Chain A
Amino acid sequence: MDHRRFLQHFVGSERLLTGYLLAATGNPHEAEDLLQEVSVALWEGFDRFDEKRSFSAWALGIARHKVIDWRGRRGRREAVLDLDILDVVGRTALGESELLAERRSALHRCIDALPEHLREMVGLRYRDGLPLEDLAARIRRNVGAIQMALVRVRRSLRECVDRRLTQASEAGR
Chain B
Amino acid sequence: MNDEFDLLVEAYLAGSAGEADARRLEELLRNDPAAVETFVRALDEDVALRKHFSFDPEGAEPRPAARRPSPLSSARPIPSLWGPLIAGATLFMALLLWVAVSDPKPQGQARRPERGRDDQEQVRQRPTEIEPERRAPVEAPPSPKEKPDVPREDERRRIERELQEAAKAAPKAEPSREPAPPRPPPPPREPAGTVAAETTRTDVAPIGVDRIEGQAVVAGKTPATAGMRLGPGQDFETVGARSSATLSFADGTLIDLAGDSLIREIADPAAARGKRLTLARGTLLARVVRQNAGPMTIVTPHGDARVLGTTFRIVVDSASTRLEVVEGKVQLKRRDGKSVDVSAGHGAVAGAGIELVSRPLPIEEIVLLPDQARVSGNEWKLVKDPAAASGVAMEAAETAYKLKKSGGDTLTYDSVRNRTAYVFFTFMADANRDYHVWIRGRSMATTDRKFHDEVAIEPLNGQLSQKCRQLGGTGDNAYCYTGWCLYPAYGWLGGYGEDGASDAVPLSIRFSRPGLQTLKLYAIETPMRIDAIWLSSTQGARPAAEQRPPLREGK
Contact = CB atoms under 8 A, between A and B. Distances in A.
Interface string A27-43: 11100100010011001
Contacts of B57: 127
A15 B47 contact: yes
Interface in B332-387: 343-346, 360, 374, 376-378, 381
B49 interface: yes
B400 interface: no
Interface string B478-499: 0000000000000000000000
Interface in A37-78: 39-40, 43-44, 51, 53-57, 78
Contacts of A81: 12, 22, 25-26, 29
Given A9-B118, A85-B29, A126-B53, A29 B376 contact: yes
B77 A131 contact: no
Interface string A98-128: 1011011101100100000000001101111
Contacts of A88: 29-30, 36
B411 interface: no
Contacts of A137: none
Contacts, number: 245
Nearest to B518: A36
B42 A154 contact: yes
Interface string A115-147: 000000011011111111100000000010001
A159 interface: no
A92 B39 CA distance: 10
B270 to A, nearest CB: 33
Q: How large is the interface on B (under 10, 10 to 19, 20 to 34, 35 or more residues)?
A: 35 or more
Contact of B29 (A51, A89, A101): A89
A155 interface: yes
| Interface of A (DSSP majority class) | helix
Contacts of A32: 374, 376
B36 A19 contact: no
A158 interface: yes
Nearest to B15: A27
A126 to B, nearest CB: 4
A147 B72 contact: no
A50 to B, nearest CB: 11
Interface string B501-538: 00000000000010110100000000000000000000
Interface stretch (B156-164, B200-208, B445-453, B468-476): B156-164
A92 B49 contact: no
A55 B7 CA distance: 33
B153 interface: yes
Given A107-B48, A147-B10, A8 B43 contact: no
A125 B117 CA distance: 29
Interface stretch (B87-95, B108-116, B174-182): B108-116
Contacts of B424: 36
Nearest to A151: B6
Contact of B21 (A4, A40, A79, A100): A79
Contacts of B72: 8
Contact of B3 (A20, A23, A111, A148): A148
Contact of A97 (B12, B71, B116, B360): B116
B7 to A, nearest CB: 6
A93 B122 contact: no
A104 B153 contact: yes
Contact of A10 (B44, B159, B345): B159
Given A127-B378, A158-B41, A4 B327 contact: yes
A131 B7 contact: no
A156 to B, nearest CB: 12
A57 to B, nearest CB: 7
Contact of B45 (A12, A82, A85, A157): A157
B133 interface: no
Contacts of A165: none
Given A11-B71, A40-B516, A85-B26, A92 B77 contact: no
The CB with the most chain B CB atoms within 10 A, among A11, A12, A13, is that of A11
B4 to A, nearest CB: 10
B10 A19 contact: no
B116 A13 contact: yes
B153 A108 contact: yes
A11 B515 contact: no
A133 B426 CA distance: 32
A97 B23 CA distance: 26
Contacts of A100: 40-41, 44, 116
B115 A12 contact: yes
A131 B53 contact: no
B114 A4 contact: no
Contacts of A148: 3, 7
B460 interface: yes
B37 A92 contact: yes
A127 B46 CA distance: 11
A14 B15 CA distance: 21
B44 A4 contact: no
B52 interface: yes
Interface of A: 1-5, 7-16, 18-20, 22-23, 26-29, 32, 36, 39-40, 43-44, 51, 53-57, 78-82, 85, 88-89, 92-93, 96-98, 100-101, 103-105, 107-108, 111, 122-123, 125-133, 143, 147-148, 150-151, 154-155, 157-158
7 contacts: A4-B77, A4-B326, A9-B122, A12-B115, A44-B513, A93-B44, A126-B54
